[in-house]
Amino acid sequence: MANIKDIAKKAGVSVTTVSRVLNNHPYVSEDKREAVLRVMEEFNYQRNINAVHLSKGETLLIGVVVPFTNHPYFGQLVEGIANEAMKNNYKLVLFQTNYEEDREIEALKMLQHKQIDSLIICSRICEWDVINQFTEYGPIVLCEDARNHNVSSTFIDHYMSFSNALEYLHNKGHQKIGYCIGRKTGANSRQRGKAYADFLKRIDEPYKEEFIFYECLHFEHGEEVVRRLSNMDNPPSALLVTSDFAAAGIVTSCRENGIHIPDDLAIMGFDNQPIAKIMHITTLEIPLVQMGRQLLLQAIDGEKHTHEEISVKLIERQTV
């Protein structure tokens, strides 16, 4: 494959002139420009875009870390990120981690090796001591409250939103409230767990571990939740579910098992996914596409560490 030295020799010009033609430099005579272009066409010369970007110190690539690609929550985040990336002429490199630390570190190492310009982590598995080792290599943006760290973030105040949701259910007459969540670990999960424990203290209710349901991410997990509820002598009268799809699975399984919603069990979801509207599930609306756009803008503007808190909105329907 020909290089610019070959083109310069064949066209009878200097390498500098070829470089100027490739970069549309104005100070090249028309006859030399035409000679270079003819030789480029003859050699079917293609620019090495990676080399061009490397010379400019940028790749125009932004890494996006998600634990799963088949969950609507992360799908909407990526939609917002991708839409804003298109507007700003960036492309995305998607990393699916399945919450495996080594996979997240692979993404961080791509930032270290300048293979991407910045990295957005939509849900983190690495501890802060790991993340902090890579902040010097480029902008890192997280989808959690990271105001005390050397990164940017767009986040929901999960402690406050969870507390408000629990108070809402309590004001509807519920004392025995449980909740369903995706995983035990993670900053957002810890905030929700603290909000729940503090809420129980405020209403003088005992903490019951059996009222907490982990690994509730997808529709099919609702069946297992309802099975456990059916085996309890004194089940909760309301569930706060951090995924609308899991909430929809619970509602469906309740109907199949003769459990009346909301008389026997009240259900409140999170995110306001389309399935919540279809199944008339009360939920907290999180503007995920908007969050994705903001994450991308922070990844581009990496010089400043900014933190953007996103508000949630109650959407009342028939399940409480």
**Are the beta carbons of 258 and 242 closer than 8 angstroms?**
no
Note down pLDDT in tens along the chain; length 320 residues.
678 888 888 889 887 788 788 777 777 888 888 888 898 888 887 766 555 555 556 789 999 999 999 899 999 999 999 999 999 999 999 999 999 999 999 999 999 999 999 999 999 999 999 999 999 999 999 999 999 999 999 999 999 999 999 999 999 999 999 999 998 888 899 999 999 999 999 999 999 999 999 999 999 999 999 999 999 999 999 999 999 999 999 999 999 999 999 999 999 999 999 999 999 999 999 999 999 999 999 999 876 789 999 999 999 999 99
Using one digit for the tens of pLDDT, what is the confidence trace for 92-134? Answer: 999 999 999 999 999 999 999 999 999 999 999 999 999 999 9
Cα separation of 280 and 274, whole Å?
Answer: 10
Strand-pair category, 152-155 with 118-121: unpaired
Residue 319: what residue type? T
Long-range contacts of 86-93 (CB under 8 A, 24+ apart): 88/296, 88/300, 89/60, 90/60, 90/61, 90/62, 90/117, 90/296, 90/300, 91/60, 91/61, 91/62, 92/61, 92/62, 92/63, 92/64, 93/61, 93/62, 93/63, 93/64
Tens of pLDDT, residues 152-172: 999 999 999 999 999 999 999
Written as six digits, the tokens of 312 are: 């949630």
Length of the chain: 320
Distance CA 177, CA 240 (A): 7
DSSP letter assigned to residue 143: S
Kindly state the helix (H) or strand (E) to which residue 106 belongs, with its residue range: helix 101-112
Contact 110, 63 (CB under 8 A): yes
Structure-block tokens of residue 167: 């108070």
What are residue 91's DSSP bridge partners?
Answer: 61
Separation between Cα atoms, residue 178 and residue 213, nearest integer Å: 8
